[in-house]
Amino acid sequence: MAEFQNESAFCGAGIPVVDLNNDATATKWYSTPTQVLLANIGIPAVLTIGIPANLAFLFMLYRVPRMRTVTNFYLANLAVSDTLYLCFYSLIYIRSHRRTPFWPLHENSEAACLTQSVTLDLFYFSSNYLITLVAVERYYAVCHPLRSLQRASPYRRVALVVVTWALALAFAVVVCPRLGSLQKVCIIWPETNHLTSQATALTFCWASKQWSLLLSYCLYVGIWSIGVVANLVMYVRIVRRLGRRNIGPQQNAMNVRNKVARMLIINSAVFFILQMPRVVVFNVFALVSASKGGNAMPTGDAATIFPIAVFLVLLNSAVNPYIFTLTNPKYRQALRDALCCCCPKRRVGVATDTGPPEQNDPGNPGTQQTLQTRT
């Protein structure tokens, strides 16, 4: 905030001043074209494709009992987290953009800043933990089926999900000081600007302490990196284990391996790839800047690239249901069964827990424990 002036007769002593008559200051504070596009086009587009898709996935699990497996129970929580993240982030971002032409988050109280920070980070962390929880469940189901069967229990599933949400909430509370302070500034508008009628004093959510920023950057990078490594290791072992199984002729074994691995790998790969730009642009560069005592990336470039990274994170919360249906025919059939309200209910079975979870999961081609009922 080097553009702040410490004293001004216009605003009173002690209140930082942002003079928008200065071109360099105006460039730093005004929303860039990329930020405007994100608010006016990007976010509405993601909402249009993401909210219906996640709700359709949840509706499918409600309507088709055979799809209520362990994996889908975790994926349902992921869909809830993604839906809430899309809704809250879009509401906060668009509202702030409509209230001021500036990029920083505009609020009127520290309580509002803390609430928004905890809410957004809760859904962000929970999605990371849930996608890893799915990988852990698949790993034990494929690589350690007997141990998975011995531990299978509805109470255990619920307990794991509760712990996941509790951890996400705990980390969200830890990093909330990154936006926990209310920074009041005095705006000097250009006299020719149509915004001169707006309030001269504005308040923004800001970091209360420098350590809070460093802590949040480290946690974001660390949790994302651990998730990438954990998913990579488990999915590599899953693919290797499936390739070694004797399921009829060798060609059949290869087909099974490829079909299962496609959904497993694509889902997690897309998840972490779409999150990578935000982790790199917003957190890694911030850590480098803090260590060097200067900006690792020019302010203008960061203001242009960061909205793109935000858009990819929001898109990440919208595409999971599409990946499920595009890569697995049983999800497509279940979705048709759920949405075809006027058609006879065909193959709407009840998933049982008489076998290892990978047998009960319709996402796996080797499903053998589904009871078929016809009406």
10-residue mean pLDDT profile of the chain (375 residues): values are: 40 69 72 81 92 94 88 92 92 76 68 86 92 90 81 87 95 86 77 57 76 84 92 88 61 54 80 88 73 58 78 92 87 87 49 42 41 33
What pLDDT does 350 receive? 45
pLDDT of residue 83: 95
The pLDDT value recorded for residue 37 is 84
Q: How far apart are CA 65 and CA 331, in angstroms?
A: 12
Q: What is the pLDDT of residue 374?
A: 32
Query: Do the Cβ atoms of 167 and 194 come closer than 8 Å?
Result: no
Question: CA-to-CA distance for 115 and 66, rounded, in angstroms?
Answer: 39
Q: Quote the pLDDT of residue 260.
A: 54
Residue with tokens 């809760």: 122
Main-chain dihedrals φ then ψ at residue 108, nearest 5 degrees: -110, -5
Class of the CATH domain delimited by 17-366: mainly alpha
How do the domains of the chain map onto residue ranges? 17-366
Residue 102 tokens read as 């500036």
